[in-house]
Structure 1
C-alpha cells in the first residue's frame, strides 16, 4: 500500500446536520480512503448548530464554529478536496501551497465547470458519464480553460445492503421543493385520496407539504436512518425532478426493489436505466394512471420490483470506489513532504 495520506476537504455542510446527495457521496468516497489506511478530514465553511469537532464514519469533521485554522490544515494536506460553492477558495489555496486538488462535479452547471477549470485542480471527478461528456464540450468551447491532469467518473456510491429493506405501502417523495416535484406530489395526493403518501422534507429549498389527511410528513432524515424511516414505508418512489444529474435517492430505493417513477432527466435515465418508469413531470394524469396500475396490479408491481433489484446489482459501487482511491493515491502520493 502507498504511504498513508492526509486528505483535507473543504465543503459547506456535512451530515448528520445536512443530508443531501452531494454530501453523502463525499462521505462514501472519503470513507473508502479511510478504509485504505488514509486520514480524511472535512472542514465546513458554513456555520451550523454544531461547534465541536466530531467523527462521522471515520472522518474527522471540523465545524465552522470551531475557530480552528483551515489554512494550516490545507498547507499540510497531501490532497485537497472540494465541491460546489467551496471550489474557488480551496483551489486558490491549492495553487498557493502547491498542493494537488480533487473537485467533485455533481452537475453540469456552468459555475461548476468554470470553477473546476479555473486552475489549481489536478483531478476532476464527474458523477455520471453524461456530466463527463458535458465537461468535454465545455473544454472544447473554452480552450483557454485549464483542464485537470486526470478525469474520472465516480457514480454516487450506494451500498445496497445499507438501504435494503422490505417495502411498505406509501407513495413517497424525498425533498418536497418545487424543483424536486413538490407540486406534482401534491396534485397526486389530492387526486388519490385513498392512497397513503409520504413526504420527506429535504435539506434545501422551500418545502411544499400538503395539509391532507392521506399525506404524512417526515422531517429531514439522516442517511443512516433512511432504510428504517423511509424505504421501509415506501411502495413507490416518485422522482418528478426538473433536474437530476444522477439521482441518489432513486438508486437507494432500487436496493429494496422499490419501483421509481421519474421525469426523464439525463441523470435519472443514466442511473435508473431500464428499471426506471419515465413520465414527463407536466403530465400529472399519466403519473396518476401509472401509480394506479403499479399499486393495483400485483404482477405489474413484481415485474417493476425485479427490474429495480437487477439495476441495483448493476450499480455496485466497488469498481468506482476503487477507481477513486487509485486516482487519489496516484495524484497525492508523489508530492513533497509538508514544510
Structure 2
C-alpha cells in the first residue's frame, strides 16, 4: 500500500511567521519518511502559498535570525472542490501542473491567518483532513476575550481583565483598570509567542504598553497579574480519547522578568522546565483535570497546551489554551510528552494518525 502524503503548512501573515517556520523545521525533521511521504508548503507574509524545501535544516534559527518563506516562481493551489486529493502548482507562465496528492495537512501556523480558524476553514471547504482543532475551537483559542468567555461558561477560573476594542482608549476604561490593581499584563488579544506582551508596574507606562500591543492586534487585553507558579500541561487527543501529560513548571532566569519572546526562542539559558515532582500529587491531578476541561470547553481537537497559575494555597487559575503550541523538539509541549515516555517522533506520528482517522465534515 502507498504511504499517506503529509503536507506541512507553515509561515503565514502573522507576526509569528518566523516562529511558525522554526516549528515546521522541527516537525519536518520528526516525520518518519518510511511511514509518510512529505511535502512542504509555505505561506509568505503576503499570503501566497508556495512550494518550499522539506529539509528541516532550511528552517532553523541562525545567529538569532528567524527563517522566512520567500515567494518563488510557483504558487500552490489546493483542490478546487471537496473530495479531490490533488494539489497543483501554478507557474509564472500560467501553466498548472500536479504538485502532490495530499492525504493530511499538518498546519503549524501560529497567530492570525492560520491558527485562528481561517486556514482550518479553507481546508474544511474541500474536505482535507488536518492536524489540530477545527474552525470554532481555533478561533476561540486564538481570541483571549472569547476564550475566557468559554472558560467562564465551563466554570473555570480565569484572570480578571479589561478588554479594549479597536478605537477604545485607556482613559475610557481607567476606572475598571484601576480596580484590577498593579501589576498588570497587557496583551494583544489574538497573538501568541509572547508577542507584544508587557508587564506594567506603573500606570504611567500603561499607554505605551497598549500602544505596543496594538502593533500586533487592535484588540487588547489588560489583565490583573496573578501570583502563582506558571504551570503548563500538554493535552493530546488520540483515537482512544483525550489525555493530559504531567504538568511542567516554567521558570525564567537571566534578565527575563517573565516568559517573553526572547526567553522562549532566543535565549537557551533563560528557561527551565521543572519536574512536576515539585507539585503535590493532588494539585498535579487537579491541574490535569482543569487542562482537559479547558480543552473541552473550546471544543479543541488533536492537541493543545493549557497554561495555568497555581497559588500557594493550591488555587488554580487558567491563563490560556494554545491550540497550536510551539512544536520544535525543545518546545514545552513535546518536552512534556517526552518526559511522559512519548518521544517527539512518536508524538508527531500519533497526531498524523489521529487526523487521518478523523472524519471530514461536521463532527
Bin the TM-score by the shorter chain: 0.3 to 0.5
Higher helix proportion, which one?
A: 1
TM-score (norm 1): 0.36
TM-score (norm 2): 0.34
